[in-house]
Structures are given as structure tokens and as C-alpha cells.
Amino acid sequence: MHRTRLLVALAFAALLLAAPAAPASSSGVVVSQVYAGGGNSGASFTNDFVELFNAGSSAVSLNGWTVQYASAASTSWQATALAGSIAPGRHYLVQLSSAAAIGAPLPTPDATGTSNLAVSGGKVAVVAGATELGCGGSAGSCSGVSGIEDFVGYGHAADHEGSAAAAALSSSTAAIRAGAGCTDTDSNADDFDADTPTPRSSAAPGNGDRARSSRRARWPASSRWQRRRTGRSSRPG
């Protein structure tokens, strides 16, 4: 009896730890940086920002898409509308709120919003649509939501990709995706480091070589997504 209870307890703990991850981005567009210290004391920049990166091999239209934010445990999201497109190997800068005129101004952004990101923890989603999300209150709750292209939980976020969130941020650090924006293992804790923010807009130099090599490196994750979505098992061209 005691052995049975122990096995049940271990199985339950494993389920809690193995929070389902959102599938790899189908478009190649991922969150490459999240900065939440805009205008705070000691801030590097005056505004919070989210930087996107196209790690795919084709340009992606962002018309009708949104970048959405919710605080660590909340299921209430704020959406910032996107427009235009993002070329392969290029970035897209979304400027968000500012606490005060402290820090350097951001490069001219590609989109602007008013979301106030918390340094201690929060959730950012890239959504191929304008409808605000209603998930995020528990681990894995957003993983099956249609339209989510990428999802990042940081600090003490209740939801995240993988078994743990990325590290909490500060006035002088951002969550930065490894591999120059190309690493995407569907694990926020593994894919992001807290480091010096370096915001880049669509006017910044591209990173095409890294994007192409990333597409090959991310094949195992994207193939699983492809099979789930279409039933095809052949590698995309």
C-alpha cells in the first residue's frame, strides 16, 4: 500500500514538472528580447520593449497580429497591434510603457503600445490575431491556444514554455534569446538569459545566416509541430 502511494505521488509530481510547451513557431517569428525596466531607477532605456526576430526563411506579414502581455498570475491580457512585415533574419521592435524619463531612448520602434511590464515576472505572447488571450493562470494553460506563435514567461510567471520560466529581470537586464535569437527549444528557462538589453528595430542590420542555420537546427521541434498540424512527416523545403 505504501509503495503504491509513493508511486502515485511520484507520478503526480512528474506531471506538475512536465508542463506542456507551446509548439515551435510555425512562422519563424519569435520573441528575441523582453525588457521591463523602462524608466525605472537605474534603467538602461526609457521604455519597456519586446523585440521580435524572424528566424525563418521567408518574410512574414504581421498585419492583424498582436504582442500581448499579462502579469505573472493574471489571465487578463493587454494587446499591442502590429503592422507591416518582418523579413527573414531581421528584427521588429515594439515599444511599450515608461515609468519616467530615465535611460536612453529606444531606436525608432516598429509598433508602440502602453503595456507596463513588471520586472519581477510576467508573460509575453506573440499572437496571430487581435483577440486578447484568457489563459496563463497555471502552467501549460496557454499551450494549446490557437494563434499563439511564441510564448515567454519570466520571473515568477505562472505559465511558460517548458518546465520553468526565464529568469526575473531588472532595470538593466532583459530576457535575451540565446543563439542571436535563433535558439528555440520550447523551454523559456533554457532559451533565455538575463543580460544587457540591445533593442533592434527593422532598420537594424539583418541576421540572415543565423536564421537559415537555425531553421535547420530547429528541425526536430518544427517537424513535431508539422506532423501534429498536417499529418505530414516529410521535412518541409
Residue 212 falls in which region: left (phi positive, over 0), alpha (psi -120 to 50) or beta? alpha
Work out the angle between the directed axes of helices 208-217 and 219-230 (0-180°, nearest 10): 60
Q: What is the pTM of this model?
A: 0.81
Sign, CA dihedral 121-150-49-117, equals: negative
Among residues 201, 148, 142, 153, the alpha carbon closest in space to that of 175 is found at 153
pLDDT of 206 reads: 82
8 A C-beta contact, residue 180 and residue 39 = no
Q: Counting every residue, how long is the chain?
A: 237
Residuewise pLDDT in 10s, the chain (237 residues)? 545 444 444 444 444 444 444 555 678 999 999 999 999 999 999 999 999 999 999 999 999 999 999 999 999 999 999 999 999 999 999 999 999 999 999 999 999 999 999 999 999 999 999 999 999 999 999 999 999 999 999 999 999 999 999 999 999 999 999 999 999 999 999 999 999 999 999 999 887 544 444 443 443 333 322 333 333 333 333
Among residues 47, 46, 52, 54, the alpha carbon closest in space to that of 33 is found at 52
Among residues 33, 34, 35, 31, the alpha carbon closest in space to that of 54 is found at 31
DSSP state of 135: -
Domains within the chain, CATH numbers bracketed? 19-227 (2.60.40.1260)
8 A C-beta contact, residue 79 and residue 127 = yes
User: By three-state DSSP, how is residue 4 classified?
Assistant: helix
- Which triple of cell numbers denotes residue 141? 494553460
- Which triple of cell numbers denotes residue 122? 510576467
Number of C-alpha atoms within 13 angstroms, CB side, residue 228? 12
Distance CA(21)–CA(4), nearest Å, equals: 29
Strand partners, 30: 53
